[in-house]
Structure 1
Amino acid sequence: MTVHSSGAVKQDRTVAVFGAAGHTGRFVVSELLRRGFTPIAVARDVAKLAEFADRGIEVRGASTDDPDSLDQAFKGAAAIINCAGPFLDTADAVASGALRAGIHYLDVTAEQPSAQAIYDKFDKQARDAGVLFIPAMGFYGGFADLLVTTAMGDWEFADEIRVGIALDSWHPTQGTRITGVKNTARRMIVANGELAPVVQPAAEMDWDFPAPFARQKVIELPFSEIVVISRHTRSSELRTYLNRTALSDVRDPATPPPKPADEEGRSAQVFLVEATLRKGEQIRRIAVEGRDIYAFSAPLICEAVQRILDGRARGSGAQAPGAVFDARDYLDALAPHNLSFVVADH
């Protein structure tokens, strides 16, 4: 159910997926089907969508440099999920198409400049249209925001927020590698209450994760969660750290892409994300474990679409998930199949 600014109610379960032929896009289409939505698979090259057409899923071709093709591709949809990176190349055009169609826009960008650009450019226009634009609603970005929002609870301010990400391996997709080459913007953290670039060389330290990871060498490496969390959460310091194992994998050109390891197509990769918050002498922690950062982004973003279309989201405009959803209820909805809460006793 979508409530527009006019107060009219539109019943619709159709969701367009731009970049459906990609690794994450395929997971998203499958997750939409599992939840009872009608997906429209969209890509520049329709030939790459043959697998969807063979399954009776509507396919449409569209290009970011052809606004008319985007308008045709999004016709009849209630929301658009953008899975096509690099998002610095696609997000503006796809979000503009969503705005012209008067529908909700979500993406899974890990790119800080892309998420910030959606906030800066589309907030007022989306509010005026009565729709939600939620960038970075993937593993990197919205996921950490939901964790931090849950841990914040009744706090209105935190002196320090740290997000630690541990992966037992990181086999990057082709899209991840292309984005890594093209995204040359300086990474940002929050220091002294303001967005600021990471000081180079990036800080390294030990992080005592809960089992199964335990102590890990980590390096300061912020993704889009910094922009998303700081959108609505006040803190003096906000930083993200990634374990060295994952960083070594993704930086090694010989590391192969992910391989399916179960009937759902998920890889065997295990992740653990821990957020630690400090306010004075008080410390709060939340830690969760899951499997396959790419596959996990599908239920994560589809849960957002479902809540928006069911009327369980607050407000409109370009927003962070923690600002429009009940964060703890959201995380609970992803457990136990996609997510497990981990006791952090250190």
Structure 2
Amino acid sequence: MMPFKIAVAGANGHTGKFVMNHLRRMNHDAIPLTRNGEFVPSSGIQETGRAIDCSDQASLDRGLVGCDAVLNCAGPFFDTAKPMAEAAIRAGIPYLDVTAEQGTARSLFDELDATAKAAGITILPAMAFYGGLADLLTTAVLQGRTRVTSVDIAVGLTSWHPTEGTRKTGARNIAPRVFIRDGVLAQIPTKMPNRNWHFAAPIGEVEVQCLPLSEIILIDRHVQAKSVTSYINLKPLEDLHDNSTPPPLSVTDDGRSAQQFVMEVEVADGDWRTRVSASGRDIYAATAPLIVGACLKLLNGPPTPAGVRAPGEIFDCRAFLADLTPEILVKYS
């Protein structure tokens, strides 16, 4: 594979550093885009990057000069996604981000799809653990079906030590959450009852709560389902709501935390029912192979449809998921 020059916005952030490291391990030229133009990698040796300001169109255009694609890891994405995606369209390069925000993903689909199609550019929002992974898993088990009765997505985490960016986004992400009911996006009830979910090890059977994120928006673009619901177990929510919970602490040479995850998707249509699970360590680290893998497929694979897209619309999802090994292990029931 030829090396590409790929800009990473928010390179100094927790997820951004994982993405930078992943690109460089694959011998690509990762260009850090930061607020002050400086980048401090995991080694601690400061580098010079490119300074950007998402409120300044000219700085964004300068930041993308000569780049083949841009990966946006700079949250909150309420502020950065649209101006960065618009800059990518002007530069004629793909844009991908890692937003979990439903509102941000919806706004990109609603506001930039026509512009991106006209420019022949592919935009992939939410190409991350929250968002893209569930869409890939759902599409993989559909095996060509486009219409089903239900899709249930459950995330099980052993813990959740949120980054500063996660906390900032959570404080601002107060818009009503949506899931799919009767085939359309609908606001979730104020008090939706919890249920039990039997996860694969190491989570096991636990109580889960409805928590729809950007995966709902992605799945809605290309799957016709009467209901799509997302859940998460209670332990990570307790960690997230506790202001004393510290940020992630690295316990491995590559910077991963001790957090383990299992994401499971169950799809049903009449008597037909199937399930798939994805497991690994550290949801922030797991985002790097997802967004980098998608970017490289856009740059090095067959032509993909232009416009704002969900990964399930444009990739061979089973092959994509297989390529994530060993960072993310996928098992089909």
TM range, normalised to the smaller chain? over 0.9
In structure 2, how many angstroms separate the alpha carbons of the residues matched to 1:116 and 1:94? 15
In structure 1, how many angstroms separate the alpha carbons of the residues matched to 2:43 and 2:247? 25
1:116 Cα offset (Å): 0.7
> Could you say what secondary structure the match of 1:254 adopts?
coil
- Structure 2 unaligned regions, length at least 5: none
Q: Does 1:14 align with 2:8?
A: no
Q: Does 1:40 align with 2:40?
A: no
Q: Does the CA contact (< 8 Å) of 2:70 and 2:94 recur in 1?
A: yes
> Could you say what secondary structure the match of 1:65 adopts?
coil
- After the TM superposition, list the runs of 4 or more consecutive aligned residues in structure 1 that deviate by more than 3 angstroms: 50-58
The 1:302–1:288 alpha-carbon spacing in structure 2 relative to 1, beyond 3 Å, is: same
The 1:261–1:12 alpha-carbon spacing in structure 2 relative to 1, beyond 3 Å, is: closer
1:147 Cα offset (Å): 0.2
Listed one character per residue, the Cα deviations across residues 1-57 of structure 1 (whole Å, up to 9, x for unaligned) are 9xxxxxxxxx8711111111110001111111112211110011224x144898696
Q: Does 1:242 align with 2:214?
A: no
> Could you say what secondary structure the match of 2:323 adopts?
helix
The 1:170–1:51 alpha-carbon spacing in structure 2 relative to 1, beyond 3 Å, is: closer
In structure 2, how many angstroms separate the alpha carbons of the residues matched to 1:57 and 1:314? 34
In structure 1, how many angstroms separate the alpha carbons of the residues matched to 2:302 and 2:195? 40
The 1:46–1:30 alpha-carbon spacing in structure 2 relative to 1, beyond 3 Å, is: same
Q: Does 1:279 align with 2:269?
A: yes
1:143 Cα offset (Å): 0.5
1:203 Cα offset (Å): 2.5
Q: Which amino acid aligns with 2:8?
A: V
The 1:293–1:187 alpha-carbon spacing in structure 2 relative to 1, beyond 3 Å, is: same
Percent sequence identity over aligned pairs: 40
> Could you say what secondary structure the match of 2:287 adopts?
helix
The 1:56–1:324 alpha-carbon spacing in structure 2 relative to 1, beyond 3 Å, is: farther
Give the corresponding residue for 2:327. Answer: 338
Q: Does the CA contact (< 8 Å) of 1:136 and 1:224 recur in 2?
A: yes
Q: Which amino acid aligns with 2:57?
A: P
In structure 1, how many angstroms separate the alpha carbons of the residues matched to 2:27 and 2:110? 33
Q: Does 1:184 align with 2:185?
A: no
Give the corresponding residue for 1:141. Answer: 131
- Structure 1 unaligned regions, length at least 5: 2-10
Listed one character per residue, the Cα deviations across residues 85-106 of structure 1 (whole Å, up to 9, x for unaligned) are 1101111111111111111100
Give the corresponding residue for 2:193. Answer: 203
Give the corresponding residue for 1:252. Answer: 242
Q: Does the CA contact (< 8 Å) of 2:131 and 2:216 recur in 1?
A: yes
Give the corresponding residue for 2:94. Answer: 104
The 1:216–1:317 alpha-carbon spacing in structure 2 relative to 1, beyond 3 Å, is: same
Listed one character per residue, the Cα deviations across residues 76-124 of structure 1 (whole Å, up to 9, x for unaligned) are 1011100011101111111111111111100000000001111111111
In structure 1, how many angstroms separate the alpha carbons of the residues matched to 2:47 and 2:219? 35
> Could you say what secondary structure the match of 1:334 adopts?
coil
Q: Does the CA contact (< 8 Å) of 1:313 and 1:324 recur in 2?
A: no
Q: Does the CA contact (< 8 Å) of 1:80 and 1:103 recur in 2?
A: yes
Q: Any residues of structure 2 matched to 1:1-346 within 5 Å, and which?
A: 13-47=4-38, 49-51=39-41, 59-312=49-302, 314-335=304-325, 337-342=326-331
Q: Which amino acid aligns with 1:45?
A: N
> Could you say what secondary structure the match of 1:283 adopts?
strand
Q: Does the CA contact (< 8 Å) of 2:105 and 2:125 recur in 1?
A: yes
Q: Does the CA contact (< 8 Å) of 1:39 and 1:57 recur in 2?
A: no
Q: Does the CA contact (< 8 Å) of 1:110 and 1:140 recur in 2?
A: yes
After superposition, the CA RMSD in angstroms is 1.7
